[in-house]
Amino acid sequence: MAKLEPYFGPHTGAMSLYLGIFQVGSGSFQAFSDFQVRFAGSYSALGHSGRFAIALGLTDQNAQSVSGACQLTLNNQTDNAATYQISEQKLVVTTALNNTPLEIYPSQNGTQVNNISNHNIWIG
């Protein structure tokens, strides 16, 4: 079912940002509804620091869909022609902003986002 709730862990309050097993930052969900989510935070890892932001909107806004069009924003770059598909209890987003599709799913009482620039990020 194409509502965002089943593919995200808790989304209220301050959240930690992990790269693998290392806590590298923090942030919060600034918006969360059935069809839109926005997370923003900051990180410091591997000699780099900066802001991390991801926003996803299911533009078809159809709770019964298992695939469709979406809008994805990663760090101020937006793909208005991204697509999503529900696959094995994961929300898989294909976008021109990333070499491989993103996988989003709940994990260990948080949200796992795999394949962002070849990194796996956990928010929780």
pTM comes to 0.92
Question: Residue-wise pLDDT tens for the chain (124 aa)?
Answer: 589 999 998 888 899 999 988 999 999 999 999 999 999 999 998 888 999 999 999 999 999 999 999 999 999 999 999 999 999 899 999 999 999 999 999 999 999 999 988 889 999 9
C-alpha 37/C-alpha 78 separation (Å) is 14
Instruction: Give the alpha-carbon dihedral of 29, 78, 112, 51, to 10 degrees.
Output: -60
**Per-residue 3-state assignment (H helix, E strand, C coil) for 49-76:** EEEEEEEEEECCCCCCCCEEEEEEEECC
C-alpha 108/C-alpha 35 separation (Å) is 23
